[in-house]
Amino acid sequence: MISKQTIESVFEVARVEEVIGEFVQLKKSGSNFKGLSPFTDEKTPSFMVSPVKQIWKDFSTGKGGNAISFLMEHEHYTYPEAIKWLAKKYNIEIEETEQTDEQKQQINERESMFLVSKFAKDYFHEVLMNTQQGRAIGLSYFKERGFREDTITKFDLGYCKDEWDNFTKTALQKGYDLKYLKSTGLTIVKEGGAEDKKFDRFKGRVMFPIHSMSGRILGFGGRILTNDKKAAKYLNSPESDIYHKSKILYGIYQAKKEIAKQDNCYLVEGYTDVISFHQSGIENVVASSGTALTPDQIRLVHRLTNNITVLFDGDAAGIRAAIKGVDLILEQGMNVKVVSFPEGEDPDSFAKSHSDAELKQYLTDKAQDFIDFKVSLLMKDAENDPVKKAGLIRDIVSSIAKIPDAIQREVYVQECARVMDISERVLFSELAQLVSKTDAQNIQKSKPTPVLQPVKETTKPKVDSLFLLEKEIIRILLLYGNEEIDFINWIDAVDKYGRHTLEKEEYRNTVCNEIYLNLQEDEIAFTNDLFQVIYFELIHQLNQDEKISIEQLITHENPEVANLVTNILMDEEKYTLSDWSRKEIFVTETHKILPKLVTDALLNIRRLLIEKKINGILEEIRENQVQPDLEEISGYTDLKKLLFEKLNRVI
């Protein structure tokens, strides 16, 4: 287990905006940062980070917390793994206490798969760099491809020996469970006979580890080095609980910082394309790993930038892939450009045959808007054929129709009219038909089959008023607990004529003291367990230090407590996110009405508890058929009336 001292050191130095900035493109918004949610597909930012409070909130999913909880949510880390990741980032030495057998057994299967995959990555790299077979076959191959040793190390490239079960035997000897070697696809098990046969999936192949955005090993790609026509040239890990080919991009871990910095991502097809570009000084590049581009892969890039440049080979297959990819990227609301390489060249070969400066200049000079790309690609065939030209125009308008933003669509229509020398009116008419057709199809898909059914009466869910009032008191304590303000109390009194009246009393107190004294006086306890935990911790701090601190709650060992506190603290940031002031919607400043807010909350919770008490007495009378205690009921009713009167007096 990680020592308490290490955990405290991590929390002291970790900056939530720096940690989340590794995974999400953040932009300054007042004293906060905002960005697109990394948990949902969205076009408008709903993700907010507060450097002052050191917390984050995703308003689209309701998730929130601190730097630790973000890593646990986004990267599916366990708590210890998140601490270790932060310790590594901030160069903090990790002190660990010995794990018990019971704690070791608690490591879940998913984590075990990650451990096996990490071991495999390290082992294959060790074989490549430090064994005779690895250097003679694997390393010599990579060096023939022009890769330097520092590049090989950067991408954790490796080699699996050309032996049936070399890797599997080694892993089993090291204590790794066959179950996880099999579930990650590293080992193939043939059942049958006296004993199951076990052999390495990637034997005789150079290895390309596939990293998650945070650097965890998800799977592998292996390239065979022989001319065996029966074997696939490239072999990937099978789909598993940790590896989903359609949801990851090769090189995203090595490229993420540069993608955000350059505000652009180059998209290529293969592993070696990515590696060659990095070696040429272009690091904002990822690969779809030879598969058709998917929306999930595009959204992965969208977290870091709104711009993608698709690079494709000059052959027919490369062109078809580029055209399909362009439309998918447009559908996701991103800006897309295209660069084609000369016939017979791909990004890898072009990078090797040109200097770094020439490659960068080529990418800049040859980057085309998707309209120019399609026109230059198909215009030669269509130039003297009106039917083909009309087909090309429809093809371009079809791509424009996929863009979700109406203003952007209009700009592209104007560009298409200019390039194709055709009336904007005709293009807008065609676009309107396509957009209308798409909308109709989407509506039809989402429509349930109409069936005549009797109308059922629906009842609205009952509002839990006590829960809302308890939450309000916790919210006030967290946000304003240490503030000292002027309060007004209305005291029940009798004037000289014997009439009941309320007299005004003014005094100064801190918010936390006022709430504590009032709740203690009436012996009010929270009915919600989480609220009770938070309240006890705050009051303990108040009694110890005469003030409260939220830091311990934000980093609370109970994730439910930390999440609830974060949600409450970040709730007011939604006004900043929506930019209500720009829309001339002004929210009342809480500080101006804080005394009323505190007093209202306390009076209302008393009123509600008295109502419950009265209802409880009446229920007991009904059930047990006992004589009512009219004096008791009258006393509670008078108290309830008095609270109403006080509530009406609070200004």
pLDDT in tens, 597-622: 888 888 888 778 777 777 777 777 77
Q: At what angle do helices 559-570 and 529-545 cross, to 10 degrees?
A: 80
Query: Which pLDDT score is estimated for 344?
Result: 85
CA 77 and chain centroid, separation = 13
CA 248 and chain centroid, separation = 14
DSSP 8-state class, residue 242 = S
Q: Judge contact between 264 and 308, C-beta under 8 A.
A: yes
d(CA 358, CA 362): 6
d(CA 82, CA 557): 13
Query: Which pLDDT score is estimated for 62?
Result: 83
The three state secondary structure string of 83-112 is HHHHHHHCCCCCCECCCCHHHHHCCCHHHH
Task: List, as own/partner pairs, every contact residues 496-501 make where C-beta atoms lie below 8 angstroms and the sequence separation is at least 24, other chains included.
Answer: none
Task: Kindly report, residue by residue over 183-212, the tens digit of the pLDDT.
Answer: 999 999 988 765 778 999 999 999 999 999
Task: Count the Cβ atoms, other than its own, within 10 Å of residue 143.
Answer: 13
d(CA 22, CA 56): 14
- Among 303, 234, 227, smallest CA distance to 273 is for 234
Task: Kindly report, residue by residue over 73-114, the tens digit of the pLDDT.
Answer: 888 777 888 898 999 999 998 887 665 665 555 457 888 999
Query: Which pLDDT score is estimated for 647?
Result: 53
d(CA 561, CA 578): 27
**Domains of the chain by range and CATH?**
4-104 (3.90.580.10), 108-242 (3.90.980.10), 252-443 (3.40.1360.10), 465-549+588-649 (no CATH)
Length of the chain (residues): 651
d(CA 236, CA 430): 43
The angle at the Cα of 543, spanning 541 to 548, to the nearest 5 degrees, equals 35
d(CA 32, CA 51): 6
Q: What is the pTM of this model?
A: 0.69
- Among 130, 505, 44, 50, smallest CA distance to 306 is for 44
SS3 state at 539: helix
d(CA 634, CA 641): 10
The residue ranges of the chain whose pLDDT is under 70 are 97-107, 193-194, 290, 314, 316-318, 380-383, 437-463, 490, 492, 500, 502, 522, 572-591, 626-651
Query: Which pLDDT score is estimated for 291?
Result: 75
